[in-house]
Structure 1
Amino acid sequence: MSAPGVRYDATFDCWVVTDPELVRRALREPALSAQTLEAATVAFLPSEVRDECAPLLDTLRRWFVTLDGEPHRRRRQAVAHLFSPRHVRAFDGALTEIAEAAVGRYAARGGDAVPAIADVVAAQGIAALLDLGGVPHERLTAWARSVSEFLATSYRADRARAAQAALDEMAASVLERPGALPGVAPDDPAERLATVSMLLFGGMETTSGLVGFALWYLVANQLSDRVAADPSGAEAETVVERALELLSPIGHVARLALRPVRIGDAEVPPGALVLLALHGEDVLDQPEMPARCPAHAPARRDHLAFGGGPHFCIGAPLARAIAGAAVTAFARALPSATVRELRWRDSPTFRGPASLVLSPETSEPDRR
């Protein structure tokens, strides 16, 4: 039941597509639906927890990334203007201030750059765009992490309850703020909560992973002088794009076959769950994170880090801008930093460093 670049996994009763060109085509295939919540998440949730976490599941069902056709287009269009390159460019100054402040604090204190820089710039960057700057970044990060941990291990009741608690806190805090997407479903709190929670969740976890990897790549390849000396920002953009090419912040996306569909040489039956790898690796295998940092090279933009087709990541311009600001601020403030310790996230879905300890001292390159 397998073909080149496609295989069926009997243990998880799903198809896995690893060939990038087949993935690219599948992301544009109308017969493959994004409405996979029931098959990929709810089906694994213990039955006794489903009623308890019904509000959480209802919110997830409303996320436009899990919808198809006109419902997806309409909900996406309602917020698309926020993430246009032109609108994001208007926040360049704010993103620079956020990054410089986070890096400045890190330069004074040291320690782990993931919670100190990556998490901070990701949370505060998306909060600035959504006018949620008054919500502490620690709370925003905790909410997003609770939801991501649930989606990665939806069979665990404790993760479901934690995600429900995070959503309840978000509803009580965010929806009372007048700036939190007031034009999106103003008469439908449930719809507004779904949109805000989806943008916060999708923006923070993935952007934090991107920033963490980009900082590792910058430091391990000793690129800070080049980035700091380039007023155009092109060198920083190259670092960010290379990071996206080498390690997509999301490992895969799921689709559900609405009818028989051919993927490469494989015939996928209706009702089958299909996992599309965004990094060219088998998503059911233990992820192999790089032990040494890849050498610097020209960046390619034909990667699948942001997916493709109608569900291409709406936040791609913002993620690139936040990561670029973080890389630039770090290169200017700590040009001689070296890598002391690196530990990867253990999630096959949300990828990036779990811990990145850097040292300001100059030494031989450490590419662990």
Structure 2
Amino acid sequence: MGRTAAPVPPLSLEDGVRAPEWDEGLECWVVADPRLARQVLNHPGFASGTFERSFQLYMADATRTEYRELTEFLRLWFVQADAPEHTALRRPVQRMLSASYVRSLTARIEEITDECLTELAGTRPHDVMPAVAEGISGKVMAHVVGVDVPPPVLHEWSRTLSLFIGAMYRRDHARAAHRAMVEMTGALAGARALEGFPTDTPKDRARTDATWAMCLFGGLETTASLLGSTVLTALGDQELWAAVRADRPGVVENLVESVLVSRPPLRHLGRVVAHDQEIAGARLRAGDLVLVSLTGQGPLDEATPAAVCPVTGASAPEPAAAAAADHNLVFGYGPHYCVGAPLARLEAAVLLRRLARRFPHARLSDRAAVWGPNLSYVGLDHLYVDLGGEA
């Protein structure tokens, strides 16, 4: 006889937890309460395979057939798997992107940042997003993965895949995403990061290519968004910018954490209801999609700063900061916590310090921020600054 699967324990709800709400427009459940979000992100009653369910719900049969190679490629991203498969696939990537490895990248990230600031100084108008935010995130990920691809191309691939993921019903997005997938996997041939990962069989190679394409994707748009929002926040407050220039202990790291909470690059994560269940009076059915808020608040709401940097170890002098960091869900929670979190934090901290050292009199231009509309991401299309001359 086969083994009987162990029963899935129900969620343990605190008093006053806000129930999931059904969104008619998005046709999914929305979990906004951080206490419930934490449990949903770490509970076997909610599966990670949102792409598979979305393919079924939003792609026409003919489109799924025509672009099967694309859907198979996305299915292989390990963020779409759950334990034990997810654990096994994530472990080697997590080791490679360890905090010690990220710390070893500091000098290279400083060099890249200086290169991008030089490019910013040579362009008119001075737009932080293409020259600096996208430049740094693109060059850093190219270095980590070991591909020789310029940032504009990397970001074009990433944006193309994002458009498809956000609107799978559109055949033109599927066509463009398929082209991006082919170009990404071609660029990964011989990439340094693939060394030591299985490539002996076509199946092994497909899984390894998908893994590192996913890492490229994850380290581009959201990191560029964080870098842009960090500069916007720093230059938008003269007192704060003065503190950044003085590089007082913990100020830079505290600012990065504050931006992560107040303007999170990623607004939510998706999950699929694994079995019929009731949560605080809401009846969820197997196969329902769930959007889990990573902040429990609007993207531009005021936030309590929190600063404990896992890379540098720096912390803010406020004792409440570390406690607040425990409630920060912007990098996810549980087994799917973002493997690139230390790298993104370091890039933002390095940018602030190098910008303040080289352009201490920088300020925002009039109508500096141009936000890009997107359901999933909080990001700037443009951020115009006046550099005020070099130090």
TM over 0.5: yes
Q: Is the aligned partner of 1:263 residue 2:290?
A: no
Question: Does 1:75 find its partner at 2:84?
Answer: no
Q: How many residue pairs get matched?
A: 349
Larger radius of gyration: 2
1:345 and 1:354 in contact (8 A); partners too: yes
- State the Cα distance separating 1:43 from its structure 2 match: 2.3
Return the offset for 1:260. 2.7
| Distance of 1:336 and 1:41 partners within structure 2 | 50
The correspondence for 2:145, drawn from 125, 130, 145, is 130
SS of the residue 1:169 aligns to: helix
Q: Does 1:108 align with 2:122?
A: yes
Aligned partners of 1:46 and 1:156 also within 8 Å: no
Partner of 2:226: 210
> By how many angstroms is 1:184 displaced?
1.7
Q: Which residue of 1 aligns with 2:290?
A: 274
Partner of 1:325: 350
1:139 alignment partner in structure 2: 153
1:291-330 CA deviation, whole Å, 9 max, x = no partner?
A: xx96995654221110101111111111111111112211
1-side partners of 2:302 and 2:96: how far apart? Answer: 34
SS across alignment from 1:88: helix
The answer to whether the 8 A contact 2:267-2:299 is kept is no
The aligned residue for residue 284 of structure 1 is none
Preserved contact between residue 253 and residue 276 of structure 1 (Cα < 8 Å): yes
In the other structure, the counterpart of 1:308 is 333
2:199 aligns to what SS in structure 1? coil
Do structure 1's residue 224 and structure 2's residue 237 form an aligned pair?
Answer: no
Give unmatched runs, 5+ long, in structure 1. 282-287, 363-368
Separation (CA, whole Å) in 2 of partners of 1:321 and 1:137: 18
RMSD of Structure 2 on Structure 1 (CA): 2.2
Look up the match of 1:285. none
Residues of 1 paired with 2:117 and 2:178: CA distance? 33
1:57-76 Cα shifts (integer Å, max 9, x gaps): 10100000000111100110
Any idea what the Cα deviations from partners look like across 1:20-63, whole Å, max 9, x if unmatched? 11111111111100011122345212333222221111010000
Cα distance, 1:210 vs. partner? 0.7
Match in the other structure for 1:355: 382
Q: What does residue 181 of structure 1 align with? A: 194
Q: Distance in 1 between matches of 2:347 and 2:199?
A: 29
Q: Distance in 2 between matches of 1:34 and 1:297?
A: 30
TM-score by length of 2: 0.83
| 1:346 correspondence with 2:373 | yes
Whether contact under 8 Å (1:26, 1:263) holds in the other structure is no
Name the counterpart of 1:150: 164
Shift in alpha-carbon separation, 1:206–1:265, aligned structure 2, 3 A: same
Equivalent position of 1:43 in the other structure: 57
Taking a change above 3 Å as real, the CA distance of residues 334 and 185 of structure 1, as seen in their structure-2 partners, is same
What is the CA-CA distance between 1:82 and the residue it aligns to?
1.7
CA positional deviation for 1:89: 0.3
**Is 2:41–2:333's contact at 8 Å kept on the other side of the alignment?**
yes
* 1:12 CA drift (Å): 3.8
